[in-house]
Amino acid sequence: MVGRALAAALAASSIFVHAVPAGALEIEVTSVRATESGPSDPELVTLRPRLRRLVGYRAFQVVGHEVRQCDWRSETRFTIPGGRHLQLLPKSYEDDVVKMEVRLLEGRRRLVDTNVRVMRGGTMMFGVGRMAQVGDDALIILLRADTRQ
């Protein structure tokens, strides 16, 4: 009985190990300021309809952008405008989907704390409400994950 349980545990762990590729994971984090009016950055033109549906604003400007190679199962921290930090913990990769834990922190307060699935090379976006230091503007974070296989 113990032998079967041990064999099942070893089989499950070997499946989990294969779910994480040996190659690096490239993560791109873009911070976007959304406003009621004004110009939009040209690199956001193709995403503008999705951004408008997300937060209802009409103008979008990139206020932060960073691309990094990240290790699997190792937490990585990105600085976000407004004194915020985005913590990412890439967990696994399966069927062209990167699974990761996402936490957005403002000081010690968690604004976002969730697990997400991002298609390889796809972009996930989430709005985090008003930016108090710049009036009624909102902050949107674009998260892209890609594996190098």
Residue 10 lies in a domain: no
Count the domains in the chain: 1
Which is nearest to 83 in space by CA: 97, 65, 100, 104?
A: 104
Note whether residue 6 is domain-resident: no
The pLDDT of residue 80 = 92
Give buried/exposed letters for 62-89 (b at 16+ CB in 10 A, else e): ebbeeeeebebeeebebebebebebbbb
pLDDT of residue 86: 96
Q: Is residue 12 part of a domain?
A: no
pLDDT digits (tens, 9 = 90+) for 80-99: 988 899 999 999 999 999 99
- Is 97 within the bounds of a domain? yes
Q: Does residue 7 fall inside a structural domain?
A: no
Tell me whether residue 141 is in a domain.
yes
Task: Flag whether 123 is in a domain.
Answer: yes
Domain extent at residue 53: 22-147
Q: Give the pLDDT of residue 137.
A: 86
- Determine, yes or no, domain membership for 112: yes
Per-residue pLDDT of the chain (149 residues; tens, 9 = 90+): 444 443 444 344 434 444 556 577 999 999 999 999 999 999 998 999 999 998 889 999 999 999 999 999 999 999 998 889 999 999 999 999 999 999 999 989 999 999 999 999 899 998 876 655 556 788 999 999 998 75
